[in-house]
Structure 1
Amino acid sequence: MPIIDNRQHNVLSSSVDERVRALSVVQKLLSRPDFGAMAAVLLVFGFFATIAGDSGMFAADGVLNWTTVSAQLAVLAIGACLLMIAGEFDLSIGSMIGFAGMVIAIPALYWGWPLWASIMLAFATAMSLGALIGYIVIRTGLPSFIVSLAFLFILRGLTIALSILFTDKTIVSGVNKVAENDWLAPLFGGEFGQSLFVWLANIGVIDSYAEGEPIVTGIPMIVGWSILLVMLGSAVLHYTRFGNWIFATGGDQQAAQNMGVPTAKVKILLFVLTAFCATVYATCQVVEFGSAAADRGVLKEFEAIIAVVIGGTLLTGGYGSVIGALFGALIFGVVQIGLFFSGISSDWFRVFVGLMLLIAVLFNNFIRRRIIR
């Protein structure tokens, strides 16, 4: 009977274990919804650092530019991500932006309302409409794609018609005047971190103007909203019962119902969330720019969905990541501003978006087949 050298056996077992362990790490990375988006972010940053690194894109004001653009889309993408994980779509969020903006501007400028009351009216109206969309989807069994597409046109038409009816124009300006002494306006149109940037300018980390004022005075509130929504969305999705309900609803609705998951309630609440996110976006724009426009938010619903898909959420539901949606929005912002800094025509932006969407869908299909196996 052959004698087995235990030391040799242990060495062989150890080497086999290492290979298995390494494979397990790779499998875990590939199974993460946001893995593809993380890799894409690194590639995009590397590309623009190479071709636009000396143009100011990564200086303080350049960073603020693409961060703000990314944050704006991220606010919309968070709500869209959670809804898509639950297996539904909301194509009305772009029109909801223009609609909510007019609901804020018209009462404040033409009816004598305080701005804070107009903002609250916009949130209440938009979220009620979101609940109505969800209720129609649940009660009729129609695809949410069709129902929300109908509301895309309804809300855009209402926005134009009501703005002309009450103001005889489609762009309403002057909100900045009523926002000056309003207690709620700074929560959407102000900045935070001013003292930090003053200190950074004083020690020479960032540039400042001749009179000593830092070139970046603070971080826009839309960035703060995006960070808050990402943190809350990720925490709810991964650490709460409601998050489990979202995954279960999108994964297999019938099985979830059999286990007692209130799938109808989950979906309606998530439609309310997408309307809330659209109103946050609209309010930040109205307060920051001092105006509302009937055409504001055009195509934003598709950009949000594309960012979510790039972030790893499956179109079939049941699988996705809020962090991935944030990465998807970040890719949008970096590419959009990076093309400007690199001198490349902005016409190529849509080409890039289409390619990224196609690559993301193919990659997500691959992940879905692995999950099924």
Structure 2
Amino acid sequence: MTATAPPGRERPREPGAGATDERLLHKSTLKKLLGRPELGAVVGAIAVFLFFSVVASGFLQASSFGTVLYASSVIGIMAVPVALLMIGGEFDLSAGVLVTSSALVSSMFSYQMTANVWVGVLVSLLVTLGIGVFNGLMLTRTKLPSFIITLGTFLMLSGLNLGFTQLISGTVSTQSIADMEGFGSASVLFASQLTIGDTELNVTILWWFALVAVATWILLRTRFGNWIFAVGGGAHAARAVGVPVGRTKILLYMGVAFCAWISGQNLLFSFDVVQSGEGVGNELIYIIAAVIGGCLLTGGYGSAIGAAVGAFIFGMTSKGIVYAEWDPNWFTFFLGAMLLLATLLNAWVRKRAEATA
């Protein structure tokens, strides 16, 4: 009986029979596009943009575009590392409150120690990275699901944020540090406004673009990026071929923590005080943005660019509803609808990519 190859694939030819290395075969532009994880998100972003361009009168104004980009960047700064973590096969349910924790540590340390604001910022960086290491070590040492580990961290941080703030300041918000030394220079780095033509852009947009570029380079051009995909595709198989699974996951959690620190400083230096109850629920938005961008919940597949596009969809939706003068509660409806539609579209795109491979 003659062996046949699976549908869509040719049976390998015998050596010397004119076989061509499949890595040298030319792929059409359509096949390359169908193989990109962020394709569904790009289609969704175009649809959302066209929709609000029609129903929201002020949506296409230059000032509105700056506002949309700022809303997108606040989500996107966290969606990018969360996407990398999901590609690595894990979740972080503490990401939302970790942003608030970072801001609280900076503010309260600077105020209580009457130190230069930059001292509080650096202490916050160390504390936030330490929490990321804690999540990673707990995951790798206990072998418990990341859902349980980070849910515990989420609950602990939520309590610590409220408890310490009330204990130290007597209220649920921090004291103003706007008149302290170093506040001005820190604000320039984390919360300044840049004027380009008639449009004002927040510096967080630059942070967002830079993080997307770095994350994309890591995923596609470095050994660590290969480790991330390998760990997400199958930790046991990755370990068998020499991938440091534990170290990879710890570094991914540290990446989430680092970006939480950036977001936390933006929160602090944008308003100079922090409400200790903020951030609860934002972790779901980061995860949904990554899923809309093409990340699989099972790991091993996705892109940083897709997560950025997912965040951009959130930014357009949240501000588009305002410009259309709708009830803001519609945002949660769009949130669920986008999640379902993006998941279905991403699944279809992936099947088409596999069928044409």
2:264 is the alignment partner of 1:262: no
Does residue 37 of the first structure (1) align with residue 37 of the second (2)?
no
Seen in structure 2, the aligned counterparts of structure 1 residues 221 and 255 have a Cα distance that, compared at 3 Å, is: same
- Between the aligned residues of both structures, percent identity stands at 35
Aligned to 2:64: 62
Query: What pairs up with 1:119-134 in 2 under 5 angstroms?
Result: 119-134=121-136
What is the match of residue 148 of structure 1?
150
Structure 1: how far apart are the matches of 2:319 and 2:175?
27
Moved over 6 A (4+): none
Please give the residue correspondences for 1:294-305 in structure 2 after superposition, counting only pairs within 5 Å.
Answer: 294-305=276-287
* Matches of 2:49 and 2:187, distance apart in 1: 34
| Contact 1:103 1:122 (C-alpha < 8 Å) held by counterparts | yes
Which piece of structure 1 moves more, 93-102 or 154-163?
A: 93-102
Question: For the residues of structure 2 that align with 1:47 and 1:324, how far apart are their CA atoms?
Answer: 20
2:180 maps to 178
Gap regions ≥5 residues in structure 1: 1-20, 201-205, 207-215
2:177–2:273: 8 Å Cα contact kept in structure 1? yes
Shift of 1:180: 5.9
State how far apart, in whole Å, the 1-side matches of 2:35 and 2:323 are: 35
CA contact (8 A) 2:169 2:175 kept: no
Query: Is the counterpart of residue 46 in structure 1 residue 50 in structure 2?
Result: yes
8 Å Cα contact 1:86/1:250 also seen in 2: yes
Q: What SS does the corresponding residue of 1:346 show, helix, strand or coil?
A: coil
Which stretch shifts more, 113-122 or 173-182? 173-182
Q: CA deviation at 1:372?
A: 6.7
Query: Following TM superposition, by how much is the alpha carbon of 1:364 offset from its aligned partner in structure 2, in angstroms?
Result: 3.2
The superposition leaves residues 236-279 of structure 1 with CA deviations (integer Å, 9 ceiling, x where unpaired) of 11111111111111012111111111111110000011011111
Q: How many residues align?
A: 331
The offset of 1:64, in angstroms, is 1.0
* Match runs of 1:231-270 below 5 Å: 231-270=213-252
CA deviations 1:107-142 (Å, max 9, x no partner) are 222221211010111111011111111100011110
Per-residue Cα deviation, 1:320-373 (whole angstroms, up to 9, x for no partner): 010000000000000110011112221111011101111222233345556677
In structure 2, the residue matched to 1:11 is: none
Structure 1 residue 349 corresponds to structure 2 residue 351: no
2:258 is aligned with 1:276: yes
Q: CA deviation at 1:175?
A: 2.3
Name the TM-score, length of structure 1 as normaliser: 0.85
- For the aligned residue pairs, the C-alpha RMSD in angstroms reads 1.9
Deviation at 1:24, TM superposition (A): 4.6
AA matched with 2:142 = T
Distance in structure 2 (CA, Å) of the matches to 1:367 and 1:58: 30
Residue pairs, 1:1-373, within 5 angstroms? 24-52=28-56, 55-178=57-180, 182-192=184-194, 194=195, 197=196, 200=197, 206=198, 216=199, 218-367=200-349, 369=351
Question: Which amino acid is the alignment partner of residue 276 of structure 1?
Answer: F
Shift of 1:176: 2.1
**Consecutive unaligned residues in structure 2, runs of 5 or more:** 1-24
Partner deviation per Cα, 1:273-316 (whole Å, 9 max, x = no partner): 10111111110010011111111212110000000000001111
The whole-number CA distance in structure 2 between the counterparts of 1:370 and 1:42 is 20
The residue aligned with 1:203 is none
User: C-alpha offsets along residues 217-242 of structure 1, whole Å, 9 cap, x if unaligned?
Assistant: x4212111101101101111111111
294-303 vs 23-32, greater mean Cα deviation: 23-32
Q: Which residue of 1 aligns with 2:12?
A: none
**What residue is the counterpart of 1:7 in the other structure?**
none
TM-score (norm 2): 0.88
Q: CA-to-partner distance for each residue in 1:142-162, whole Å, 9 max, x for gaps? A: 000110011000001011111
Structure 1: distance between partners of 2:55 and 2:313? 16
Hey, what's the Cα distance between the residues in 1 that align with 2:136 and 2:123?
Answer: 20
Q: How far, CA to CA, are the matches of 1:175 and 1:41 in structure 2?
A: 39
Deviations 1:48-101 (A, max 9, x none): 11112xx32222211111110000000000110000000000010111112111
2:337 and 2:178 map into 1 onto residues whose CA distance is 39
Q: Is the 8 A contact 2:93 2:283 kept in 1?
A: yes
**Higher alpha-carbon deviation: 261-270 or 178-187:** 178-187
Query: C-alpha separation between the residues in 2 aligned to 1:119 and 1:181?
Result: 10
Secondary structure of the corresponding residue to residue 133 of structure 1 = helix
Q: Secondary structure at the match of 1:219?
A: strand
**Larger Cα Rg: Structure 1 or Structure 2?**
1
